[in-house]
């Protein structure tokens, strides 16, 4: 399972060297050399081991061929997407559309584990996103404190028992 965030750099050719901690997961899970790189929302880059991406495709395959949401999803992910193989230096060539859309050439990036896939975005964009998640939604609201989060989790665990 991919977790945590690591800093990395996309080089001048658009190649991303996967951080060592994430390469360990790739090896442990025997994912192999193929990955699908795409964006599902037009905002961030996603790197999926091909085995995990195929599970996503299987979910969509169960829907009718003419289902509008399925067609839109397929159009978006395939427009941005590309199958790539990792090289011997643990680098992935980002698809041209991804490199250009997200300005990722010669850029410092955050690579964040989201369980079955990795999210890649410039460090500036990542910082802005985290700040927006932590910022109050209105003048009165405050971000949830750790004590409150623990209390809510404890209550949920108690309800399960």
Q: Write out pLDDT tens, residues 25-64.
A: 999 999 999 999 999 999 999 999 999 999 999 999 999 9
pLDDT, mean over the chain: 92
- Phi/psi of residue 63, nearest 5 degrees: -80, 155
Structure-block tokens of residue 13 = 């050719």
Task: Classify residue 53 as exposed, middle or buried by CB count within 10 Å of its CB (0-12, 13-18, 19+).
Answer: buried
Reduce the DSSP state of residue 52 to 3 states and report it.
helix
- Considering only CA atoms, give the Rg of the chain: 18
Whole-number pLDDT of residue 141: 58
Q: Is the pLDDT of residue 138 over 80?
A: no
Q: Domain 5-160 maps to which CATH number in 3.40.50.1700, 3.40.1550.20, 2.60.120.260, 3.40.50.300? A: 3.40.1550.20
Task: Give CA–CA dist 33/89, Å, rounded.
Answer: 12
Q: What percent of the chain has pLDDT over 70?
A: 94
Using pLDDT thresholds of 50, 70 and 90, give the confidence band for residue 161: low
Q: Please, are residues 66 and 33 in contact by the beta-carbon 8 Å criterion?
A: no
Task: Give CA–CA dist 92/89, Å, rounded.
Answer: 9
Whole-number pLDDT of residue 159: 80
Reduce the DSSP state of residue 54 to 3 states and report it.
helix
Task: Give CA–CA dist 78/49, Å, rounded.
Answer: 16
Q: Please, are residues 110 and 2 in contact by the beta-carbon 8 Å criterion?
A: no
93: closest CA among 11, 7, 5?
A: 11
């Amino acid at each position: 399972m991919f977790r945590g965030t690591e800093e990395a750099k996309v080089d001048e050719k658009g190649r991303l060297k996967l951080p060592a901690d994430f390469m360990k997961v790739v090896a442990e899970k025997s994912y192999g050399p193929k990955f699908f790189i795409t964006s599902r929302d037009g905002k961030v880059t996603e790197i999926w081991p091909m085995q995990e991406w195929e599970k996503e495709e299987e979910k969509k395959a169960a829907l009718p061929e003419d289902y509008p949401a399925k067609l839109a999803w397929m159009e978006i992910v395939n427009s941005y997407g590309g199958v790539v193989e990792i090289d011997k230096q643990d680098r992935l060539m980002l698809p041209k559309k991804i490199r250009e859309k997200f300005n990722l050439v010669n850029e410092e990036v955050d690579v964040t584990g989201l369980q079955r896939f990795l999210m890649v975005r410039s460090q500036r964009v990542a910082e802005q996103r985290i700040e927006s998640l932590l910022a109050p939604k209105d003048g009165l609201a405050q971000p949830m404190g750790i004590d409150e989060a623990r209390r809510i989790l404890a209550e949920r665990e108690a309800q399960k028992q």
